Amino acid sequence: MFAKFLNLNPDKQTRIINAAMKEFAQKGFDNASTNEIVKEAEIAKGLLFHYFKNKQQLFLFAYDYGSELILNDFYQKFDATEPDFFARLRQISRLKLEILQQFPDMFHFLEVAYIDTSKVVSDELEQRKQQLIDSNLGKLFKGIDLSLFKDGVDITRIIQIMMWTFEGYNRDALKKAKLTPGVPINYESFFAEAAAYIEFFKTSFYK
């Protein structure tokens, strides 16, 4: 499908992907302009559609490209032997920070893409998200020592609550960052506060 594109001069590939991610991240799918993308990538208008059937395919390609790259990076560093649930959460949080610092634009794009609500891509995105969750939730929490939890707590519900909590936490942090444009995000304090939430959950739900 995208073989053509992947055979292309890598420099140009990068320019196109970066330009697309930047535009999509800034404006969302519907309002992103392919005109802006080709201008930023410094290619001719037609070329974009030589490689990608349409705007939608470009978006999804960028999404897949980015998420694969980032997941690979993540799992290379991920230690799946840690039995403590909250230690593992902290690890995940730390790895996320590292990746974010290594690929800031791509990270930003994926984060925004993840919540893009455009009808045109939302169905496909939803599938991908579900696949991601299905194939990763298992890996992330395999081998956890459940005996450390208080007896009788509904662990599924806890995980669900924590996921929503961190989603909300991320979103709010993102919003605050947007409100002070120009000021770079202070990721350390961002993750420090996340750690405080983890600590809170641990106190609440561990023996």
Partner DNA sequence: TATGAATGAGGCTTCATTCAT
Partner DNA sequence: TATGAATGAAGCCTCATTCAT
Give which of a second copy, DNA, none residue 156 binds (C-beta under 5 to 8 Å, depending on kind): none
Length of the chain as a residue count: 207
* Contact with DNA (CB under 7 A) among 36, 40, 82, 124: 36
Rule CB under 8 A: say whether 197 interacts with a second copy: yes
Q: Which of 109, 104, 120, 15 is nearest to 62 (CA)?
A: 109
Residue with tokens 């993308």: 37
Rule CB under 8 A: say whether 154 interacts with a second copy: yes
Of 35 and 135, which CB lies nearer to DNA in the complex structure? 35
Rule CB under 8 A: say whether 175 interacts with a second copy: yes
Of 1 and 183, which CB lies nearer to DNA in the complex structure? 1
**Piece of 50-58, 80-88, 134-142, 186-194 that binds DNA (CB under 7 A):** 50-58
Which pair of tokens denotes residue 190?
Answer: 């961002």
Which pair of tokens denotes residue 60?
Answer: 């999804």
Which pair of tokens denotes residue 181?
Answer: 């444009």
Which pair of tokens denotes residue 153?
Answer: 């707590």
Residues 113-142 close enough to bind a second copy by CB under 8 A: 115, 117-119, 122-123, 126
Q: Which of 1, 34, 29, 33 is nearest to 124 (CA)?
A: 29
Q: How far apart are CA 112 and CA 29, in angstroms?
A: 10
- Residues near DNA (CB under 7 A) are 4, 7-9, 12, 31-36, 43-51, 53-56
